[in-house]
């Protein structure tokens, strides 16, 4: 097995809390270098996670023949400037979302990927969440199969009544429960706000789950937080993404509810998937989440709430801050799937073209919230010519 020698550029929250611990746990990767403009952050990360070296200059990473993979976890302040020379040097890049905040920069990255044939994976990691992968599988089964069994109340004459065109649509609701206190200051000075920086995850899932192209978007609220986003698709299907900043961080953040072909599917914070309608599937599937060592393992959404309650009770006794209990949102698997892609054993879990489309839709939603108007989406928004 070949070991990928990775450099992490940007030693902030996502790198320290998720990516670097995932790298440490992955036998296919070796943490060779940590880099941050803040040299103390780079050195502290190297010390904490036993990286070979630390650097304050990302140019060194790109030029270093001993590095063969780069994880870019800065904000969009550093994207094409690093990615373009890295690809020329033959180094694949895993870049955190958003891919970039200008179309020109995104298209330059697409051009470089096509020219060098060196892959870039974008951190739309929800696609690699075990719960979302099952959600997609069950949706496909609902849509392509016979659909949901007859309900307890049936006035459709056992399904023989003429079908409405609307019955073929896919309705999706994504509720994002956010807590204003959990964000660092930068987000409130950022020109694009949470609507852009964070919603790309949910827009990505919406585009990935819907079989037809988007035709119209509308956003209402404030781009900084507290907004509703509406995406309408060619077949009339609607996805609504509702975001609140006024919630509590330790209440489950992400709820996705889908109804399609008489089947209802709900993914609760990546820890529990429930369904009604598919007779040969269980009502509930549960997924592991991060728990404290030495404790009884809890499961599902009820287990998640119990685990959170436990940490709050302990924190109260000790007078400390409660531990953070987080579900598996696919970060580790997304990176691991990218290794398969680099080794020629699998597809890129999120290539740049898919990410450009997501990011363009997010930029359109930003425009919509500022104008207070619905905006049309056309092929030029979701199709990038292969030239
Ligand atoms: N996929 C996810 O679930 C997820 C979650 C959180 C954040 N993110 C994304 O990850 C990125 C980073 O977010 P964060 O919360 O870790 O931010 P952060 O502010 O905690 O960390 C960013 C780090 O990058 C460093 N940096 C900035 N410019 C640099 C440069 N030119 N060279 C080297 N280092 C530089 C900063 O000093 C800082 O340490 C953002 O794009 C964010 O949207 C993704």
For ligand 1, whether the C-beta of 359 sits within 6 Å is: no
Q: Is the separation of the CB atoms in 93 and 70 below 8 Å?
A: yes
**Helix intervals (H) in the chain:** 13-14, 20-25, 39-49, 58-63, 80-88, 103-116, 130-144, 186-189, 193-197, 200-209, 300-318, 331-342, 352-371, 379-382
In whole angstroms, what is the distance from residue 83 CA to residue 362 CA?
22
For ligand 1, whether the C-beta of 300 sits within 6 Å is: no
pLDDT at 2: 84
For ligand 1, whether the C-beta of 36 sits within 6 Å is: yes
In whole angstroms, what is the distance from residue 237 CA to residue 375 CA?
16
Atom index in ligand 1 nearest the CA of residue 76 equals 41
In whole angstroms, what is the distance from residue 244 CA to residue 28 CA?
38
In whole angstroms, what is the distance from residue 318 CA to residue 112 CA?
53
Q: Nearest-5° angle of CA 20, CA 22, CA 24?
A: 70
pTM above 0.85, yes or no: yes
Residues paired with 276 in a beta bridge: 264
**Residue in 272, 273, 343, 329 with CA at minimum distance from that of residue 128:** 329
**Residue in 48, 53, 68 with CA at minimum distance from that of residue 5:** 68
In the three-class reduction of DSSP (H, G, I as helix; E, B as strand; rest coil), residue 127 is classed as helix
In the three-class reduction of DSSP (H, G, I as helix; E, B as strand; rest coil), residue 322 is classed as coil
pLDDT at 97: 97
In whole angstroms, what is the distance from residue 286 CA to residue 303 CA?
10
In whole angstroms, what is the distance from residue 189 CA to residue 276 CA?
43
In whole angstroms, what is the distance from residue 180 CA to residue 157 CA?
50
In whole angstroms, what is the distance from residue 232 CA to residue 377 CA?
9
Bridge-based pairing of strands 227-233 and 214-221 is antiparallel
Residue with tokens 């790309």: 200
In whole angstroms, what is the distance from residue 127 CA to residue 333 CA?
9
Q: Is the separation of the CB atoms in 215 and 382 below 8 Å?
A: no
**Residue in 128, 81, 85 with CA at minimum distance from that of residue 100:** 81
For ligand 1, whether the C-beta of 77 sits within 6 Å is: yes
Q: Is the separation of the CB atoms in 95 and 120 below 8 Å?
A: yes
Q: Nearest-5° angle of CA 45, CA 48, CA 50?
A: 90
Bridge-based pairing of strands 238-244 and 227-233 is antiparallel
Q: Report helix angle 352-371 to 103-116, nearest 10.
A: 170
All domains in the chain, ordered by first residue? 4-126+341-350 (3.40.50.720), 127-152+160-328+359-376 (3.30.360.10)
In whole angstroms, what is the distance from residue 347 CA to residue 338 CA?
8
In whole angstroms, what is the distance from residue 305 CA to residue 76 CA?
34
In whole angstroms, what is the distance from residue 200 CA to residue 371 CA?
20
For ligand 1, whether the C-beta of 349 sits within 6 Å is: no
**Residue in 20, 28, 6, 26 with CA at minimum distance from that of residue 48:** 20
Atom index in ligand 1 nearest the CA of residue 198 equals 43
End-to-end CA separation in angstroms for the chain = 36
Tens-digit pLDDT string for the chain (387 aa): 689 999 999 999 999 999 999 999 999 999 999 999 999 999 999 999 999 899 999 999 999 999 999 999 999 999 999 999 999 999 999 999 999 989 999 999 999 999 999 999 999 999 999 999 999 999 999 999 999 999 999 999 999 999 999 999 999 999 999 999 999 998 988 888 999 999 999 999 999 999 999 999 999 999 999 999 999 999 999 999 999 999 999 999 999 999 999 999 999 999 999 999 999 999 999 999 988 777 788 999 999 999 999 999 999 999 999 999 999 999 999 999 999 999 999 999 999 999 999 999 999 999 999 999 999 999 999 999 986
The secondary structure element, H or E, covering residue 5 is strand 4-9
For ligand 1, whether the C-beta of 74 sits within 6 Å is: yes
CA 74 – ligand 1 centroid, Å: 3
């Amino acid at each position: 097995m070949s070991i990928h020698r990775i450099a992490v550029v940007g030693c902030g929250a996502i790198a320290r809390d998720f990516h670097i611990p995932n790298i440490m746990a992955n036998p296919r990767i070796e943490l060779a270098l940590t880099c941050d403009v803040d040299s103390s952050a780079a050195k502290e990360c190297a010390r904490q996670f036993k990286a070979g070296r630390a650097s304050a200059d990302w140019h060194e990473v790109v030029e270093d023949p001993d590095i063969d993979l780069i994880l870019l976890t800065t904000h969009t302040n550093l994207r094409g400037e690093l990615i373009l020379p890295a690809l020329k040097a033959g180094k694949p890049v895993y870049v955190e979302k958003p891919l970039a905040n200008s179309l020109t920069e995104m298209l330059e990255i697409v051009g470089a990927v096509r020219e060098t044939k060196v892959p870039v994976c974008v951190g739309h990691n929800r696609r690699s969440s075990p719960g979302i992968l099952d959600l997609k599988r069950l949706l496909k089964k609902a849509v392509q199969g016979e659909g949901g069994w007859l309900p307890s109340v049936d006035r459709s004459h056992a399904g023989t009544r003429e079908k409405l065109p609307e019955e073929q649509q896919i309705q999706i609701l994504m509720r994002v429960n956010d807590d204003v206190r959990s964000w660092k200051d930068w987000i409130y000075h950022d020109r694009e706000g949470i609507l852009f920086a964070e919603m790309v995850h949910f827009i990505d899932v919406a585009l990935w789950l819907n079989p037809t192209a988007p035709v119209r978007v509308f956003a209402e609220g404030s781009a900084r937080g507290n907004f509703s986003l509406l995406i309408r698709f060619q077949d009339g299907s609607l996805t609504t993404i509702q975001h609140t900043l006024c919630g509590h961080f330790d209440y489950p953040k992400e709820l996705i509810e889908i109804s399609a072909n008489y089947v209802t599917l709900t993914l609760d914070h990546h820890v529990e998937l429930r369904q009604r309608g598919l007779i040969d599937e269980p009502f509930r599937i549960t997924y592991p989440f991060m728990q404290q060592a030495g404790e009884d393992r809890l499961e599902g959404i009820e287990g998640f709430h119990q685990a959170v309650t436990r940490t709050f009770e302990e924190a109260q006794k000790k007078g400390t801050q409660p531990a953070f209990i987080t579900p598996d949102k696919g970060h580790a698997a997304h990176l691991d799937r990218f290794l398969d892609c680099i080794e020629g054993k699998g597809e890129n879990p999120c290539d740049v073209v898919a990410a450009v489309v997501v990011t363009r839709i997010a930029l359109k939603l930003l425009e919509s919230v500022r104008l207070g108007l619905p905006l049309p989406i056309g092929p030029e928004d979701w199709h990038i010519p292969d030239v």
